[in-house]
């Protein structure tokens, strides 16, 4: 049996995923989590073969959870599930160590295939995501401005565009205010922007926000 953990903060999404997976005789859903802490608490006690992880989770993002999963349960294959199209987060997720990336819109058609592929040790990505990954590796200059940011810079970018101020970000991430300000300045420099307002506009234009 393929032991599987579903992590998504929306009950309806979890129910939909459960319905799809439960039709397969060799897939067993052993736990469902609605936030990142529940995922980590579960994996601290037992491992699972596949973790289906929403990228946009409360308390911590899916990409942040992914880092801890690798430490707690290194053999777990992580399949990122996202409402965002591949061109927004697929490459970042794969570089962070995910075994696969599918959108919620395509989950009904692709979920079972994705689970089976990652359990075999392969990666599951769409042809579009494959093309983007090749482009990033072969032509770094073609990357969008937000794709040039480090993981920490991208994390702070997302908090800024969601309305968090520097002090609250420093408290959330356990960083000093000066450190967050340094990251903020670096983000503006790399993206050739001058204000948080421009950053928010960029995020909406590139569909980084829901």
User: What is the secondary structure of 31-58 as a DSSP string?
Assistant: EEESSHHHHHHHHHH---SEEEEESS-S
Q: How many CB atoms lie within 10 A of CB 88?
A: 20
* 8 Å CB contact between 40 and 65: yes
Q: Which of 97, 86, 162, 99 is nearest to 130 (CA)?
A: 86
The CATH class of 144-205 is mainly alpha
What's the pLDDT at 88?
64
Given a contact cutoff of 8 angstroms between Cβ atoms, the answer to whether 38 and 51 are in contact is no
Output the pLDDT for position 62. Answer: 84
Helix, strand and coil in the chain, % to nearest 5: 60, 15, 30
Question: Residue 133: what pLDDT?
Answer: 64
Half-sphere exposure of 173 (CA within 13 A, CB side): 27
pLDDT at 103: 82
Identify the CATH number of the domain defined by range 2-137: 3.40.50.2300
Domain ranges of the chain: 2-137, 144-205
The crossing angle, in degrees rounded to 10, of helices 151-161 and 166-173 is 130
Residue 82's pLDDT is what? Answer: 82
| Residue 81: predicted pLDDT | 86
Question: Which pLDDT score, from 0 to 100, does residue 141 have?
Answer: 56
- Taking 50 as the pLDDT cut, the residues of the chain under it are none
Predicted pLDDT at 119 = 93
Q: 34, 63 in Cβ contact below 8 A?
A: no
């Amino acid at each position: 049996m393929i032991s599987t953990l579903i992590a998504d903060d929306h009950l309806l999404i979890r129910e939909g995923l459960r319905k799809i997976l439960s039709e397969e005789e060799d897939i067993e859903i052993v736990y469902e989590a609605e936030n990142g802490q529940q995922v980590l608490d579960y994996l601290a006690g037992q491992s699972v073969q596949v973790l289906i992880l929403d990228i946009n989770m409360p308390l911590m993002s899916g990409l942040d959870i992914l880092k801890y999963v690798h430490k707690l349960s290194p053999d777990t294959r992580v399949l990122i599930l996202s409402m965002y199209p591949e061109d927004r987060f697929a490459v970042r997720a794969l570089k962070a160590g995910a075994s696969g990336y599918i959108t919620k819109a395509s989950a009904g058609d692709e979920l079972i295939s994705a689970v089976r592929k990652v359990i075999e040790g392969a990666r599951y990505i769409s042809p579009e995501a494959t093309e983007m990954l090749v482009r990033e590796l072969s032509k770094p200059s073609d990357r969008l401005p937000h794709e040039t940011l480090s993981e920490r810079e991208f994390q702070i970018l997302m908090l800024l565009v969601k309305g968090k101020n520097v002090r609250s970000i420093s408290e959330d991430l356990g960083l000093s205010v000066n450190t967050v300000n340094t990251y903020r300045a670096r983000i503006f420099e790399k993206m050739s922007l001058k204000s948080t307002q421009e950053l928010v506009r960029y995020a909406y234009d590139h569909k980084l926000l829901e």
